[in-house]
Structure 1
Amino acid sequence: MKQLPEIGGLGKPSPTGPRAPSIRRGRLSWRYVLCSLIASYIVYCYAFSLPLFAHLLPEYSGPYPVGAVDVEVPLASPRVVDTARLKGSKEKAFEIETVLFTIYYPAAQNAVSQKPKHYWISKPISATTAGYAKFAHIGNFVVDKLLAGAVGALVGNIQVPAQVDVSLADLVATVTEVPETRDDVREIEKVIRIAEGGHPVIIFSHGMASGRTSYTHYAGELASRGYVVVMLEHRDGSCPGSIITKNGEPDKTKLLFDVGDVESASGKDLSVPEFKRAQLDFREAEIEEAVRVLKLINAGQGDEIFAKSSRGEGADFRNWKGRLNTDDMVVAGHSYGATGAMQALRGGPSAARPFRGAVVLDPGKHSGRLNDDLRVPVLVVHSNSWSSRVSLFYGRPHFDSVREIVENNVLRGMPSWFATSLGTSHPSVTDAPLLEPLLLSWTTGARIDVYEGLRQYVHVSEDFLSFLGTGDKRGLLREKAEFPEYDEGKGFGVWKPGQDHGEADNWRRYWQVHVSPN
């Protein structure tokens, strides 16, 4: 009778004769452990509706809850900003049909929405990912599908932590202490008058390959401190993919496009400067349209705006009458949007662009000339990477051009600042580092903790916005310009708390001030 091979004996009989078979557990390989951990992580994320390999957006830290409303309103008639057309479809490339933005605002206490929260990437995700694929010059049917699936798995279920379409908070100044002097009385009266004037309004313009949801945490943090922040979505070719919606009409997707995708009305190619000028003019026109809509809401036409908006949000606009300060707004932007914000200041405040100040974050290096006709106070912030990398800008270093614009504005009597946020990189003010902190730090070279970096942007912006309302300088705005040039040798990580002037100067750990009115 043929003997059965012993398990684990490679088919050879035991040299001591037959014995009961035994089972031996093999060692766990690193591949088995890794695959098991990944599988467990995927099951965990699926069970608790968490994104794969990404962090959720944090809650806001200010005293107000935060509300969010999507608004898309058609113009009375389409507005053609430039006659250039798309080469393939021959459609007008720079025609405004609707204006789209999300309003982040301080909400009433204990407000609870019955509507689902906004997704960080608007649906359908394929519109955004197709634009990114086109931007990277890898777009085709297969890549678009794969990219949509991958992005959907990574961040498709991430939501913005703001309550949708809830009531606007009342902005009330309360006095808790009895003033000691008449000067204190005047100061309290000044604060109350500002409160009665309505919530300060900021219109924000996004950068290249971004959209209205790219800066939700920055916007939400300011909203939690009493500001109304309007995050525009530009249809100038810079947004990866934007859905144009009108009540009663089919949706249209407008993908990112560049100078090579457009031509003049006569069929000639545009130069890069011509294309950039058309984009900036288009952005300025969209900013003006957003101002127009906000003024209508503040004037008591909230119900009409709600009815016209194709996004189905804004039911509480009827109660916003007289509660926004639409006479003295602030314009802000990042990168290409910073260049656009500066352009929106041309000629000084006007009815269409009633801006009394600007927050300019990393003004663009490849988005056209920077407007130097400002006429209002400005805060210009460079990320560490924007200041440290020398870039020629129309024949001279970009840093020098920015510094000169701010210095000239100070000489005109407009208090203005230019500073570098140490340890940060170009995307640090966006949501991206919060969602993927390790990946963004590795790819962009940012050395600061992502939460601290964004916190510094919020604090300096809030100090500047407060200055516009009260005239009081606080925080970084009180400091003198000690660094005419960016100094890598005194950058992030060099200064330690308690050094030089003591703990009160901890701001030196995070900032270099290049221009100041002090």
Structure 2
Amino acid sequence: MPLLSPIFSSSFPPPPTSTSLGYAHILSPSLAPHVLPSPTLSSTSKPLFNTQCVGYAVFYPVVEPSRRWWGGGSGRRWTRWLPDPTVEMERGYEKFLGRKGLGWICGPCPVLSSLPFFQRCRRSCADLVHMILFSQARREPSSSLTDQFPGAPLAPLAPPPSGSKYPLVIFSHGLAGTRNTYSQYCSALASRGFVVLALEHRDGSAPAVILHSAESVSGRPASDSGEESLTDKTEEKAEKDSVLYYVKHTELGWKDEEDSSLTQFRTLQLKTRVREVYEAYHSFRRLLAAEADVVMPGADGLRKKEWAESFRDHVDVEELYLTGHSFGGGTMMHLLQTPSPSPHLPALPVRRCIALDPWLEPLPLPSASAESSPSMPPMLVINSPGFTVWTDHFERLREMVQRMDGWLMTLIGSNHQSFSDFPLLVPPTGKSTLFLSRFHELSYAFIKGQLAQCPLVDSQDADEGKVKVDAKGKMVGKVAEVVLHLRGKE
């Protein structure tokens, strides 16, 4: 994998294998629609948590592109990193970031944000990323590749090796993430022979997300059948779509008797996210079984049918892996410890789970049900040093992972955003692709049941959470070195 910054190489790096990749955006009516009447958005007085549809991107292997495949013969192999509509995404990021700082990239937790270094660099880092992101949003799609990643839109799935099927992965993004924010991580897995669904959460944590007519924030479907209004009336979407920008706790209205704390807000987001993971899985499963129709932006009926048929009987939906970053990592850990949110959403056949720098504050305190059981799938948690030296948070994480008989480790030199594509937008990024390569190597080895033999950890003894730090409170170790805290089950 090349280590040159995409800012200078004119594109995001290619995946770690030579496999060509495809990309699709899917919108599907919810199998179990759900609305919470409170809290409401102060700007509209309409409920925030209104699960009427689910959206996700699909990253997957394709055969070497042909100019006859898609795009009217254009043979396009790239997908825009900033999702459409880019202007709304720009506004959403500006609302989340402001013009004063990008502390969430440099210092995502109180420990990091209080360090003098991060306070000094925050303004310059913010201005640079602001310039890059927003100049991309205004750029014509054909003018440059700097805002695109390898992924042929709507290309058909490559047939798997004879007698096999592609396993399925579902990825959950963190705060201010989109379905494309982790394109490098998702693409790396897809290049290894996985079909990856990257969620776009509609819980107010994304910079901006389009709410379609079947998912108005009032909780009132556009017709008696939410599925019909979403799949059969796409021509009217320009008139009926609305935008949900990143939601701050202060922008909500609550009933007088309700808990209106930030903690409660995050807990409700967590529950919504878990529901969306279930909805995405069952949406995709039903699509492959020809039991449901969906919207695929950019695809007419015939093209959508051909795309879906290329997947039929080629994906093993019973071999499911869950992964996520930050809030998304916490989402997946919580999902494993709780029952399905609806009788209409059957349990997920989870084989393994990977949490990348999981954020645990929204999760309720563990109960006896959180203890490891024979049915608990193997768990891998990869931390950045910032989240490991966040003492209270790390101790809770260590206890939780230990109860789940999972793996816990830290990658030295990384930070909270190293798991995402964001560091690839800001030079220097020589280490950024190295960190992403490490995350992928560990993740792939774990999924294959070979983590104990991975050269990054095979010779290490677990420190059982006794983290070594220097006089400044910084973790001891070399850049890109893995520190093993807990050795789990395979």
TM-score normalised by length of structure 2: 0.74
CA contact (8 A) 2:354 2:380 kept: yes
Distance 1:123 1:297, change over 3 A: closer
**Identity, % of aligned positions:** 24
The aligned runs of 1:472-483 (5 Å cut-off) are 473-476=453-456, 478-483=458-463
| Conservation of the 8 A alpha-carbon contact between 1:339 and 1:363 | yes
Q: Which has the larger radius of gyration?
A: 1
Structure of higher RCO (CA pairs closer than 8 Å, 6+ residues apart): 2
Alignment correspondent of 2:469: 488
Give yes or no for the alignment of 1:514 onto 2:485: yes
CA distance in 1, matches of 2:197, 2:402: 29
* Residue from 261, 279, 283 that aligns with 2:269: 279
Question: Distance between the aligned counterparts of 2:286 and 2:271, measured in 1?
Answer: 23
Q: CA deviation at 1:58?
A: 1.2
Alignment counterpart, residue 398 of structure 1, candidates 371, 390, 393:
393
Distance 2:362 2:481 in 1: 27
Offset at residue 348 of structure 1 (A): 7.1
Normalised TM-score (structure 1): 0.70
Q: Which residue of 2 aligns with 1:444?
A: none
1:356 offset after TM fit, Å? 2.1
Paired letter, 2:487: S
How far apart are residue 290 of structure 1 and its match? 0.2
Compute the displacement of 1:367 (Å). 3.2
Aligned counterparts of 2:57 and 2:424: Cα–Cα separation in 1: 20
The 1:333–1:225 alpha-carbon spacing in structure 2 relative to 1, beyond 3 Å, is: same
- Determine helix, strand or coil for the equivalent of 1:326: strand
Q: Which moved more, 1:75-84 or 1:62-71?
A: 75-84
| Aligned counterparts of 1:54 and 1:269: Cα–Cα separation in 2 | 50
Q: Partner of 2:35 in structure 1?
A: 80
Change (3 A) 1:277 1:437: same
* Residue-pair matches, total: 404
1:90 aligns with 2:45: yes
- Comparing 236-245 and 334-343, the one that deviates more: 236-245
Q: Over residues 477-518 of structure 1, what are the superposed CA-to-partner deviations in whole Å (9 max), with x where a residue is unaligned?
A: 6455432322235988955xxxxxxxxxxxx96100000037
Between the aligned partners of 2:480 and 2:324, the Cα distance in structure 1 is 25
Query: Partner residue of 1:191?
Result: none
Is the CA contact (8 Å cut-off) linking 2:171 and 2:324 kept in structure 1? yes
Which residue is 2:187 aligned to? 220
Q: Distance in 2 between matches of 1:110 and 1:330?
A: 28
Distance in 2, Cα, partners of 1:61 & 1:384:
25
Q: Report the Cα distance in structure 2 between the residues aligned to 1:275 and 1:515, rounded to whole angstroms.
A: 32
User: 1:54–1:154: 8 Å Cα contact kept in structure 2?
Assistant: no
- Cα displacement string for residues 359-400 of structure 1 (whole angstroms, at most 9, x for unaligned residues): 001111543447645621100000122223x24xxxxx1111
TM-aligned CA distance change 1:361 to 1:81, over 3 Å: farther
CA distance in 2, matches of 1:111, 1:218: 25
Find the residue that maps to 1:93 and give its secondary structure. Answer: coil
Q: Is the 8 A contact 1:262 1:269 kept in 2?
A: no
Structure-2 residue corresponding to 1:317:
308
2:349 is aligned with what amino acid? P
Q: Counterpart in 1 of 2:418? A: 428
Note if contact 1:300-1:320 (Cα within 8 Å) is conserved in structure 2.
Answer: no
For residues 133 and 431 of structure 2, the distance between their equivalents in structure 1, rounded to whole angstroms, comes to 24
CA spacing shift, 1:368–1:261, aligned 2, 3 Å:
farther
Closer/same/farther in 2, CA of residues 270 and 138 from structure 1, 3 Å limit: farther
Distance change (3 Å), C-alpha of 1:384 and 1:339:
same
Q: Tell me if the contact between 1:54 and 1:436 (Cα under 8 Å) persists in the aligned partners.
A: no
Aligned to 1:126: 87
Deviations 1:306-357 (A, max 9, x none): 5x44553744112322221212311111001111111111247993432221
Query: Is the 8 Å Cα contact of residues 463 and 477 (structure 1) preserved in structure 2?
Result: no
- Please give the alpha-carbon distance, in whole angstroms, between the structure 2 residues aligned to 1:52 and 1:461: 26
Gaps of 5+ in 1: 1-49, 140-146, 174-194, 392-396, 411-415, 442-447, 496-507
Q: Is the 8 A contact 1:419 1:515 kept in 2?
A: yes
| Structure 2: stretches of 5+ with no match in the other structure | 101-128, 142-146, 213-229
Q: In structure 2, how many angstroms separate the alpha carbons of the residues matched to 1:423 and 1:284?
A: 31
Query: C-alpha distance in 2, partners of 1:269/1:260?
Result: 14
**Worse-superposed segment, 339-348 or 374-383:** 339-348
Aligned residue for 1:102, secondary structure, equals strand
